[in-house]
Amino acid sequence: MTKSIRYPKIKRVKTPPEKKLLVEFENGVIKLYDCTPLLQQQIFQSLRDEAFFQCARADSHGYGVIWNDEIDIAESEVWINGQIANLHF
C-alpha cells in the first residue's frame, strides 16, 4: 500500500508586489511563491489583474490559496516550489 504524502496546511496568505504570495503554513514555515510562471496558463489569466490578485486568501481548511471557485493553488505546490522566506507575518 502506498503511503500518501501529507503537506502542512496553509494558515495565512499575503500578496507582496510582483505577483508573489507570502504563505504561512501551520507548522510556522513561511514561503514566498512566485505566481508569474502561472500567468502563461489560460486558467490563471485573471491573476494578471492586480486587484483580483490581491484577493488571494487561504482556503478555509488550509488546502490551498484561493481566489474564487475556479482559481486556486494547492498547498503542495506552494510547499514544494515556494522559497523559504526569512520574514515575519
CATH code of the domain in which 32 resides:
3.30.2020.40
Query: Mean per-residue pLDDT for 31-48?
Result: 98
How high is the pLDDT of residue 1? 60
What nine digits make up the cell of 56?
488571494
Cα separation values, 86 from 37, 61, 65, Å: 23, 25, 20
CA 20 to chain centre: 9
Residue 42 belongs to some domain of the structure: yes
How high is the pLDDT of residue 71? 98
Q: Which residues are paired to 34 by β-bridges? A: 20
* pTM passes above 0.85: yes
Cβ contact 11:58 at 8 Å: yes
- Host domain of residue 37: 10-84
What nine digits make up the cell of 5?
504524502
Residue 2 belongs to some domain of the structure: no
Residue 59 belongs to some domain of the structure: yes
Instruction: Give pLDDT tens digits for 1-38.
Output: 667 899 999 999 999 999 999 999 999 999 999 999 99
Asked whether the predicted pLDDT for residue 89 surpasses 90, the reply is: no
Report the domain count for the chain: 1
How high is the pLDDT of residue 77? 98
Cβ contact 15:22 at 8 Å: yes
**Cell 508569474 sits on residue:** 36
Residue 1 belongs to some domain of the structure: no
Query: Mean per-residue pLDDT for 71-80?
Result: 98
Residue 64 belongs to some domain of the structure: yes
Residue 3 belongs to some domain of the structure: no
